[in-house]
Amino acid sequence: MYTLPLNRIAFFLSTLCILILSSCSDDEGDDNETVIPQPNIPTLPALPATVSGQVVDMKFTTAQTGAPYVDNQEVKMTFSSAGQLFIDDDPAANDGDEINIATFTLVGSEYIWQDASNGHAYALSLKPDGSINEVNVSNSASGMFLGQFITIDNNANSLVANYQGNYDVTSVDKGSHSRMTVSIDANGNIDFDSAVQLNSSDFDLVSDRLSCCNGIWIDMKPYPTTPYPRVNLFVDQTSGELNKIEYFPEYSSVNNRVTVNLKKK
């Protein structure tokens, strides 16, 4: 009987073990490579940090026919961190929110909530610094503009007071100006001409339009009842200095309008 040498038996056994271990390793690799398909969940847009979670007092302006709010109506808007829009259209009643819209869509640079129950769309636009500019309200079906909400600044007169100082009238584009100087004090009062003092206590609606139009619009009492005095301040985009004032004694009529160009002394 032929007997294999011990060294060949050892080689045979070691080769057999390697084959067995290799087979086991391949099996384990197959198990590890098994991938369970995951559902394709779309990523929803999020509100910017400057808006998310904010509760803002706002006032309705430029109401059009069919608008769901009236001029000067104040509401409280809540922009939740989950992207919901809550609207309390009578904060003084302390009876909670009348409108709750769960989601928004991002169209260009506007965040738009559709109120399907009432047929209105709310479009939020932001200033360059990311803060709230305004919320435009429109008819969902027709897209017709119905009015807009602007933020209520309890210190709105400070917008005007930022331009305090004495100014020379360098030219008069419309109307007449007898004194040829204008001054604004630290409280935002505007001494426009010899017989025209515009007191900040009469400013009913001060609209910050610096980001879009380089201006500040001031509607004075008895706004919104017409006619009422209106003042538009214009700021030079480059220097940031007040360089023009447009005064309407009986807005919305343009009769007796006075427009002057200014240079700070």
Domain check: are 163 and 259 in the same one? yes
User: Total domain count for the chain?
Assistant: 2
102, 130, 151 — which closes off a domain?
151
69 CB-near residues (< 8 Å, 6+ apart): 60, 63, 75, 89, 137, 147
Mean pLDDT across the chain:
86
Residue 66 has pLDDT above 50, yes or no: yes
SS3 string, 210-251, reads HHHHCEEEEEECCCCCCCEEEEEEEECCCCCCEEEEEEEEEE
Is residue 83 a part of any domain in this protein? Answer: yes
pLDDT band per the 50, 70, 90 thresholds, residue 154: low
∠ CA 145-147-148 to the nearest 5 degrees? 120
Residue 101 has pLDDT above 60, yes or no: yes
Domain check: are 127 and 103 in the same one? yes
Residue whose C-alpha is closest to residue 203's, from 176, 244, 231: 231
CB contact at 8 A, 101 and 122: yes
Is residue 30 a part of any domain in this protein? Answer: no
Averaged pLDDT for residues 1-17: 51
Averaged pLDDT for residues 136-154: 90
**How high is the pLDDT of residue 41?**
52
Cα separation, 246 vs 196, in Å, equals 13
123, 151, 179 — which closes off a domain?
151
CB contact at 8 A, 252 and 226: yes
Domain check: are 120 and 217 in the same one? no
**C-alpha distance across the termini of the chain, in Å:** 124
**How high is the pLDDT of residue 212?**
82
Averaged pLDDT for residues 71-85: 92
CB contact at 8 A, 88 and 98: yes
pTM above 0.75, yes or no: no
Beta-strand ranges (E) seen in 73-220 are: 74-79, 85-88, 99-101, 104-107, 110-115, 120-126, 132-139, 145-151, 165-174, 181-184, 190-193, 196-198, 203-209, 215-220
26-40, 81-95, 210-224, range with the lowest pLDDT: 26-40
Cα separation, 96 vs 87, in Å, equals 9
Domain that holds residue 138: 54-151
138 CB-near residues (< 8 Å, 6+ apart): 120, 121, 123, 144, 145, 146
Averaged pLDDT for residues 239-245: 96
Domain check: are 170 and 259 in the same one? yes
151, 178, 210 — which closes off a domain?
151
- CB count in 10 Å sphere of residue 257: 16
